[in-house]
Structure 1
Amino acid sequence: MNQAASDITLKYLQGYSEHLQNQVRQLINERRLAAYIEQRYGQQHPIQSDKALYKYINALKQNHLRNAPQIDKVLYDNRLDLTHRALGLHTAVSRVQGGKLKAKKEIRIASLFKHAPPEFLEMIAVHELAHLKEADHNKAFYKLCEYMLPNYHQLEFDLRIYLTARELVSE
């Protein structure tokens, strides 16, 4: 790490208070950021195939959103990356079939989550599932995320720290 932590722009944490950002900078200065994540989220999840990911996300949907539209396709997508700030994506692909317009729901999860802790995969899956009911990132959306995953906000924050730590290692 070439620059002082106080000079680092914490792009994944910009919406958080200066106090929290300073705590993260202190962990960076002390070279303890990766250890913090490793201690809290040490293991990698076993869901490695698109088929397993589909089953996993469908099970979450059945537990929390039975009346939501059916999900037609779920996959890890290596085209989603941090430069586009896309960790997951939900889409409705419309096609004409036999004179009728058919909309298929798809969820794509960034491939970097193949090797992430299970808590982060669950957080991203819950986030994308919530979009089946709420299109925008509004109060109702985050309330739904909290309903499906009670510690959603803490996991989202820790995921942002995880992404920051990954980026520091790659520099």
Structure 2
Amino acid sequence: MSSSLKYLQGYPPALLQQVGQLMAEGRLGELLQKRYPEVHEVRSDKSLFDYTNELKQRHMRNAPPLNLVRYDAKLKIIQHALGTHTRAPQQQGAKLKMRREIRVASLFREAPAEFLKMIVVHELAHLKELDHDKAFYALCHHMEPDYAQLEFDTRCWLTWRESAQ
């Protein structure tokens, strides 16, 4: 497989060939910009925290609260970390509480609105489902019905961005 399609590993060869052809013709970026013209306004860590909590409240009211949601410039996209979720025990006197954090790669500050939503939905789903299994993806699709297409298009966008640099 071509290293230029590393974000698309695991997809069928015919699909990879289509993406490769669009890239070779210089049309992948244009196609994505036409399909996803709206860039979001969620630029600050505070607005990302509010945006994430709004989605959580709408779809996962019983999920535990989040302590931190922020953009993180240190996330390594190459290592497939578009976002992360962490759980860490936190001692407060005699009580032991779980601290929950979501970090989103800072390149998503400039991403189409749908791609940011896909990443946030993915990380929120990890509050209830730790593994990428059937239940996890069912929860993702509950929160965002077009989740699978958005995940694929986000991977195409990452591929295009990297090739354009």
TM-score (structure 1 length as normaliser): 0.93
* 1:35 aligned residue: 30
Structure 2 unaligned residues grouped into runs of 5+ = none
Q: Which ranges in structure 1 are unaligned for 5 or more consecutive residues?
A: 1-5
Partner of 2:42: 47
How far off is 1:63 after superposition?
0.5
Q: State yes or no: 1:71 paired with 2:63.
A: no
Percent identity between the two aligned chains: 55
Matched, 1:84 2:79: yes
Matched, 1:141 2:141: no
Is residue 15 of structure 1 aligned with residue 10 of structure 2? Answer: yes
Structure 1 residues 90-99 or 143-152, which shifts more?
A: 90-99
Q: Deviations over 1:86-105 (max 9, x none)?
A: 01011112222213322111
Name the stretch that deviates more: 6-15 or 53-62: 6-15
Once superposed, which parts of structure 1, at least 4 consecutive aligned residues long, lie more than 3 Å away? 6-9
SS of corresponding position for 1:147: helix
Equivalent residue pairs, number: 165
Question: What letter is aligned with 2:47?
Answer: A
Range moving further from structure 2, 148-157 or 42-51 = 42-51
The CA deviation string for residues 80-119 of structure 1, in whole angstroms up to 9 with x for no partner, is 1212210101111222221332211111111010000000
Aligned to 2:117: 122
Task: Check the 8 A contact 2:4/2:163 in 1, yes or no.
Answer: no
Deviation (angstroms), 1:75? 0.4
| Cα drift, residue 9 of structure 1 | 4.1
The equivalent residue for 2:53 is 58
Equivalent residue for 1:3? none
SS at structure 2 position matched to 1:107 = strand
- Cα distance in 1, alignment partners of residues 100 and 45 from structure 2: 15
- Kindly report the root-mean-square deviation, in angstroms, between the aligned alpha carbons of the 2 structures: 1.3
TM-score (normalised: structure 2) = 0.96
SS in structure 2 opposite 1:10?
helix
**Secondary structure, aligned partner of 2:91:** strand
Asked if the contact 2:88/2:98 (under 8 Å) is kept, the reply is yes
